[in-house]
Structure 1
Amino acid sequence: HPPLPNLHPFPQLPPFPTISLPPFHWPFKFPPKKPCPPFFKKPHPPFIPIIKPLPPPVPIVEPLPPPVPIPKKPCPPLVPVVKPLPPPVPIVKPLPPPVPVYKKPCPPPVPIVKPLPPPPPIV
């Protein structure tokens, strides 16, 4: 195998120094985790079940049985009703205008003179 190339980013510098470091320890301890402040925790509202009313029951409609034919009695023969005719309305023709009849003039009236009764006797 050929030797591995120098993987240093800058080849003009010497290769990486190998320094052994002691194991690292934080100089302080992390505080224990505190519970979340109360404003982060919203209490859940109590569970209220939403009860929807049941739909009304759909009525089961059974089909009606076919109608039973009722035998009909034969109709009696029709009797013609003869109504008497109303009396005929007389046709009234207008009378012709009266023809004037020319009369002879009447003779003058003759006065009827009755004799006077005799005067009653004077007693």
Structure 2
Amino acid sequence: MSLPPPPFDLDSELDRIRAVQAGLGRRFVAVNAAAFVLPALLTAAGNGHLLAPRLPGGPAFGTLLCLAQATLLILTAWLYDRASRHHTDPRVDHVRAQITVPAGERRW
């Protein structure tokens, strides 16, 4: 004899989705804010002189930091999207499957 599935609670499921998205957003902002603050602090601390020296046979140190920051931004955006697909999309699909809305009233 199998047990019936637990009742679907839309409010708690939406709260879980919001919590997951908020956690992902906090991590995304923290990593990218730290990547922004580092060059800004180096610029302020050394009046720009810490970022100006050229590395042997290459660009200036500040240019490399900016490229690293752009790379980190792209990487974290990709990871955010991937984590969102993995953690949030199945929950949203479950909510959509549980809700029956007449076809004329659908908003998505």
TM-score range, shorter chain: under 0.3
Q: Select the structure that is richer in helix.
A: 2
TM-score normalized with structure 1 length: 0.18
Of structures 1 and 2, the one scoring higher in RCO (CA 8 A, sep 6+) is 2
TM-score normalized with structure 2 length: 0.20
